Structure 1
Amino acid sequence: MLIDLKQVRSIVFDLDGTLYHSDGLAAEIQTVAASLVAETRGVSLKKGRTLLRNSRKRLAELLEEEPTLTRTCLTLGIEVPEFHRAMQAGVHPEQYLAPDPVLEALLDSLTGGWDLYLYTNNNLPLTEKILALLGVESLFRRLYTIEFNWTPKPDPETLQRVLEDIGGPPDSFLFVGDREQVDLKVPREMGIPTLLVAETADLLQIHKILGIIP
């Protein structure tokens, strides 16, 4: 995919799984979700895990794609604000994350020519904490978290609001994420260039796409 360097002005990143990877943190998030399911249903944590797993499986079959954790909790009657209050109380990224000098240098090298944004299903307090732990909190012009529209990705209406808030035609954006269906499908359908990454090192592809390095 060749992108006109003169057109791209805004790079929009996903957070979890894109700017960092942590199996421990991911497991803790799953435990918090399962605990919330168990609490609301009045069952054991083990049963809560089973309910969450089965609901996610059914939703994946219905949507023909892997659903987000937030959307899965919605199908179990847990509202988005309730889920994220539990996340804020029960998720502790400081136990798993540390400054990432490579990530910081990579993102910082982009700030001279492009505006960096974050669009995530995470909530604002946790997002700010994660970015601070990684050492990159000052590199983004704005964070679009779940509070922006209280609707998780993928959602065309919320994405349109994000685009309008930032401003610019579709080809002035580059969306970067680790989940094709969640992070990139809707932007691509709107004519926006996208980049799928599997690990932090893949972010170096941005420099090649934009012509910073050969």
Structure 2
Amino acid sequence: MTIYRIPEKPAALIFDIDGTLYTNAKYIKEQTDCQIRRFAETRGFDVKKARKMVKSYREEWAKLHGGKRLSLGNVLKDMGVPIAESIAWRKELLDPAPYLKIDKKLNAALARLAESYKLVCVTNNPVSVGRKTLTALGADPFFSGVIGLDTCGISKPDIKIFDLAAKQASVSVDSCISIGDRYDIDVAVPLEMGMGGILVDSVRDVYKLPDVLEIR
């Protein structure tokens, strides 16, 4: 866990979902690969070629942007796949149920956090997929809202997404902490906005958050 900033009086925690509220490399990989397979199918590419295209594009983009990472939704958008099409693919293809199960340690931590903060999720998946993931983990009751790719048609790390999360929580931007597993996607922009930021290595770090934030 890397703590970049904690506001003096935090009021809301903005959580990423995938790779943050659970750790499951197989499901994370499948989320990406199923979309690349659909991209190949709809565009008439060989799947291996499509995988190489996405990898090469990300590598070139990173070289031009100081090593930053680009979300898959934005990669596909740059390759001619409208966000609306990406949203439809994700709704159809992504199913967390076979990969995830109720996490009692996660829910115990979230229950403690929810006593002191408003909890909001921001995901680059559609809201329905985010909710399915939270339900599979048993975590849905602790979150007041989920902002997804279909909420406003843009994906993280766009500043509008994080601004919307603060508004949904009815708090000021500088009283929020953004928590996620990818610095460039989940933490960098919130820090620039004046939010707090915590980078987690796995869900085990989320288990520790109540103690990190000194919740009694």
How big is the shift at 1:115?
1.1
Contact 2:113 2:215 in 1 (8 A): no
Q: Which range moved further: 55-64 or 131-140?
A: 55-64
TM-score of the aligned structures, taking structure 2 as reference length: 0.90
What RMSD, in angstroms, separates the aligned Cα atoms of the two structures? 1.7
Give the Cα–Cα distance (whole angstroms) in 2 for the partners of residues 182 and 57 of structure 1. Answer: 16
Regions of 4+ moved over 4 Å: none
- Corresponding residue number in structure 2 for 1:153: 156
How big is the shift at 1:3?
4.4
* % same residue: 27
How big is the shift at 1:128?
1.1
Q: Which range moved further: 97-106 or 83-92?
A: 83-92
How big is the shift at 1:208?
3.2
- CA 1:102–1:68 in structure 2 vs 1: closer, same or farther (change >3 Å)? same
TM-score of the aligned structures, taking structure 1 as reference length: 0.91
Q: 2:214 aligns with which of 203, 211, 214?
A: 211
- Corresponding residue number in structure 2 for 1:30: 32
Q: 1:104 aligns with which of 99, 102, 107?
A: 107
How big is the shift at 1:41?
2.4
Q: Which structure has the higher relative contact order (CA within 8 Å, separation 6+)?
A: 2
Contact 1:10 1:173 in 2 (8 A): yes
3-state DSSP class of the match of 1:116?
strand
Contact 2:114 2:142 in 1 (8 A): yes
- CA 1:122–1:68 in structure 2 vs 1: closer, same or farther (change >3 Å)? same
Give the Cα–Cα distance (whole angstroms) in 1 for the partners of residues 202 and 120 of structure 2. Answer: 19
Which ranges in structure 1 are unaligned for 5 or more consecutive residues? none
3-state DSSP class of the match of 1:95?
coil
3-state DSSP class of the match of 1:110?
helix
Contact 1:36 1:83 in 2 (8 A): no
- Opposite residue 102 of structure 2, the aligned amino acid is P
Whether 1:13 aligns to 2:23 is no
1:94-152 deviations in Å (ceiling 9; x for gaps): 11111111101110111122111101111112111111110111110111111121111
